[in-house]
Amino acid sequence: MKMFKTLATSALALSFALQAQAADVPDDVTLAEDQTYTFWLLDAIKSMDPQINTDVEGSDVLRNLFEGLYNENGNGELVPGVALDHEVSEDGKTYTFNLREDAKWSSGEPVTAQDFVYAWRRLANPATASEYAWYMELMQVENASAVVAGEMEPDQLGVTAVDEHTLEVRITNPLPYFPQMLVHASTFPVPQSVIEANGDDWTDVGTLVGNGAYTLTTHQLGERVVMDKNDTYWDSENTVIEQLTALTINDVNQALTRYLAGELDRVDIPAGQYPRLKEEYPDQAVSTPYNCSYIYMLNVGEKGPEALKDVRVRKALAYAIDRDIIVDRILQGGQRGAYNWTHWAIADFERPELDWADDMDQAQRVERAKELMAEAGYGPDNPLDLTLQYNTSEDHKKIAIAASQMLKQINVNVTLDNYEWKIHTDRMQNQDFDMARYAWCGDYNEASTYLDLMTSYSGHNNGEFFNDAYDQVMQDSKTAEDPLPLYQEAETILAEEMPIIPIYHYANVDMISDDIAGLPENNVNNTWYGKDIYRVAE
Amino acid sequence: MITYALKRLAIAVPTLLLLIVISFLLMHSAPGGPFTSERELPPEVLANLNAKYGLDQPLWRQIATYVWSIVSDFDFGPSFVYKDRSVNEIIAQGFPITLTYGLLSFAVAVVVGVSLGVAAAIRHNSALDYIAVGVSIGAQVLPNFVMAPILVLVFTLWLGWLPGGGWQGPEYWIMPVIALSTSFMASIARITRSSMLEVLTSNHIRTARAKGLPERRVILRHALKPAMLPVISYLGPAFVAMITGSVVVDIYFSTGGIGKAFVDSALNRDYAVMMGVTILIGALTIFFNLMVDLLYGWIDPKIRY
Instruction: List, for residues A315-343, the tens digit of each pLDDT value.
Output: 999 999 999 999 999 999 999 999 999 99
Per-residue pLDDT tens for B24-52? 999 888 888 888 887 788 888 899 999 98
CA distances from A116 to A97, A112, A231, A529 (A): 11, 7, 22, 20
User: Hey, which bits of A358-447 come out as E strands?
Assistant: 384-391, 412-419, 435-441
What confidence tier does B291 reach under pLDDT thresholds 50, 70, 90? confident
- For residue A13, pLDDT over 50 is answered with no
Indicate the residue of B39, B157, B269 with minimum beta-carbon distance to A422.
Answer: B269
What's the sign of the alpha-carbon dihedral A476, A482, A485, A489? positive
Question: CA dihedral defined by A229, A230, A236, A240, rounded to 10 degrees?
Answer: 0
Residue B237 pLDDT: 84
CA distances from B11 to A238, B4, B18, B182 (A): 66, 11, 11, 34
CA pair distance B277, B289, nearest whole angstrom: 18
Hey, are the CB atoms on A254 and B35 less than 8 Å from each other? no
A423 touches chain B (CB under 8 A): yes
> Which residues, including other chains, have CB under 8 Å from residue A424's CB and lie 6 or more apart?
A389, A390, A391, A436, A437
Residue B90 is which amino acid?
A: I
Among the listed residues A467, A455, A458, A461, the one whose alpha carbon sits nearest the alpha carbon of residue A496 = A467
Nearest CA in chain B to A443: B39
Per-residue pLDDT tens for A120-171? 999 999 999 999 998 999 899 999 999 999 999 999 999 999 999 999 999 9
User: What angle do the packed helices B224-243 and B174-200 form, to 10 degrees?
Assistant: 150
- For residue B146, the tally of other CB atoms under 10 A from its CB is 12
Could you give the 3-state DSSP secondary structure of residue A72? strand
> Which phi and psi angles does A80 have, rounded to 5°?
-60, 140
CA pair distance A496, A357, nearest whole angstrom: 12
Q: How far is CA B16 from the centre of its chain?
A: 18
Instruction: Count how many residues are written for chain A.
Output: 538
> What is the average pLDDT across A59-77?
94
Residue B305 pLDDT: 67
Burial of B134 (0-12, 13-18, 19+ CB in 10 A): exposed
Per-residue pLDDT tens for B124-167? 899 989 998 898 888 888 888 899 999 999 999 999 999 999 99
Could you give the 3-state DSSP secondary structure of residue B85? coil
Could you give the 3-state DSSP secondary structure of residue B41? coil
- For residue B260, the tally of other CB atoms under 10 A from its CB is 26
DSSP B45-81: HHHHHHHHTTTTS-HHHHHHHHHHHHHHH----B-SS
Could you give the 3-state DSSP secondary structure of residue A436? strand
> What is the average pLDDT across B287-291?
88
> Which residues, including other chains, have CB under 8 Å from residue B7's CB and lie 6 or more apart?
none
What confidence tier does A228 reach under pLDDT thresholds 50, 70, 90? very high
Tell me the sheet residues that pair with A508. A288
**Which residues in chain B have their CB less than 8 angstroms from residue A427's CB?**
31
Percent of chain B surpassing pLDDT 70? 100
CA pair distance A447, A166, nearest whole angstrom: 30
Mutation for testing the B interface, residue in A250, A295, A420 having most B CBs under 10 Å: A250
CA angle, residues B81, B244, A200, in degrees to nearest 5? 30
Indicate the residue of B156, B260, B267 with minimum beta-carbon distance to A222.
Answer: B260
> What is the average pLDDT across B213-239?
88
> Which residues, including other chains, have CB under 8 Å from residue A280's CB and lie 6 or more apart?
none
Hey, are the CB atoms on A423 and B250 less than 8 Å from each other? no
Task: Categorise residue B131: left if φ over 0, alpha if ψ from -120 to 50, beta otherwise.
Answer: alpha
**Which residues in chain B have their CB less than 8 angstroms from residue A431's CB?**
none
Among the listed residues B110, B99, B98, the one whose alpha carbon sits nearest the alpha carbon of residue B247 = B98
DSSP-derived pairing of the beta strands A70-72 and A266-268: unpaired
> What is the average pLDDT across A79-102?
95
A48 touches chain B (CB under 8 A): yes
Hey, are the CB atoms on A46 and B82 less than 8 Å from each other? yes
CA pair distance B100, B104, nearest whole angstrom: 6
Indicate the residue of B152, B261, B269 with minimum beta-carbon distance to A222.
Answer: B261
Residue B151 is which amino acid?
A: L
CA pair distance A297, A45, nearest whole angstrom: 30
CA pair distance A20, A73, nearest whole angstrom: 7
Percent of chain A surpassing pLDDT 70? 96
Please report, in angstroms and rounded to a whole number, the separation of the first and last CA atoms in chain B.
6
Indicate the residue of B42, B81, B166 with minimum beta-carbon distance to A134.
Answer: B42
Indicate the residue of A257, A423, A427 with minimum beta-carbon distance to B164.
Answer: A257
Q: Count chain A–chain B contacts defined by CB atoms under 8 A.
A: 155
CB of A295 closer than 8 Å to CB of A323: no
Indicate the residue of B84, B251, B255 with minimum beta-carbon distance to A49.
Answer: B84
What's the sign of the alpha-carbon dihedral A235, A238, A243, A249? negative
What confidence tier does B226 reach under pLDDT thresholds 50, 70, 90? confident
- Where helices occur in A66-132 by DSSP H, the ranges are 113-124
Q: Which helix (H) or strand (E) holds A258?
A: helix A252-260
What confidence tier does A20 reach under pLDDT thresholds 50, 70, 90? very low
Nearest CA in chain B to A437: B38
- For residue A3, pLDDT over 80 is answered with no
- For residue A352, the tally of other CB atoms under 10 A from its CB is 16
Query: In angstroms, what separates the C-alpha of A468 from chain B's closest C-alpha?
Result: 22
A198 touches chain B (CB under 8 A): no
Mutation for testing the B interface, residue in A40, A202, A422 having most B CBs under 10 Å: A422
Task: Name which of A3-17, A425-439, B21-35, B131-145 the model is least confident about.
Answer: A3-17
Burial of A144 (0-12, 13-18, 19+ CB in 10 A): buried
Per-residue pLDDT tens for A199-208? 989 999 999 9
**Which residues in chain A have their CB less than 8 angstroms from residue B251's CB?**
250-251, 254
Hey, are the CB atoms on A423 and B251 less than 8 Å from each other? no
CA pair distance A10, A85, nearest whole angstrom: 9
Query: In angstroms, what separates the C-alpha of B155 from chain A's closest C-alpha?
Result: 10
> What is the average pLDDT across A14-23?
52
What confidence tier does A396 reach under pLDDT thresholds 50, 70, 90? very high
Hey, are the CB atoms on B260 and A223 less than 8 Å from each other? no
Indicate the residue of B45, B167, B269 with minimum beta-carbon distance to A131.
Answer: B45
- Where helices occur in chain B by DSSP H, the ranges are 2-29, 43-52, 59-73, 87-122, 127-141, 144-151, 174-200, 203-210, 215-217, 224-243, 247-253, 258-268, 271-299
- For residue A5, the tally of other CB atoms under 10 A from its CB is 11
- For residue A402, the tally of other CB atoms under 10 A from its CB is 16
What's the sign of the alpha-carbon dihedral A36, A39, A44, A46? negative
The single-letter DSSP state of residue A33 is: S
> What is the average pLDDT across A291-311?
96
Query: In angstroms, what separates the C-alpha of B263 from chain A's closest C-alpha?
Result: 12
**Which residues in chain A have their CB less than 8 angstroms from residue B98's CB?**
none
> What is the average pLDDT across A447-461?
92
**Which residues in chain A have their CB less than 8 angstroms from residue B82's CB?**
44, 46-47, 221
Percent of chain B surpassing pLDDT 90? 52
Mutation for testing the B interface, residue in A131, A259, A281, A462 having most B CBs under 10 Å: A131
Q: Within the 373-392 window of chain A, which residues sit less than 8 Å (CB to CB) from chain B?
A: none
Per-residue pLDDT tens for B73-112? 899 999 998 988 999 999 999 999 999 999 999 999 999 9
Hey, are the CB atoms on A126 and B41 less than 8 Å from each other? no
Task: Name which of A215-229, A249-263, B42-56, B92-106 the model is least confident about.
Answer: B42-56
Q: Which of A296-300, A343-347, A442-446 is modeled with the greatest confidence?
A: A296-300
What confidence tier does A276 reach under pLDDT thresholds 50, 70, 90? very high
Q: Three-state secondary structure along A182-215?
A: CCCHHHCCCCHHHHHHHHHHHHCCCCCCCCCCEE
Residue A10 pLDDT: 43
> What is the average pLDDT across A59-68?
97
Indicate the residue of B44, B94, B156 with minimum beta-carbon distance to A148.
Answer: B44
- For residue A99, pLDDT over 50 is answered with yes
> What is the average pLDDT across B256-277?
91
A149 touches chain B (CB under 8 A): yes
**Which residues in chain A have their CB less than 8 angstroms from residue B42's CB?**
134, 137, 148, 459
- Where helices occur in A90-182 by DSSP H, the ranges are 113-124, 133-138, 144-148, 178-181
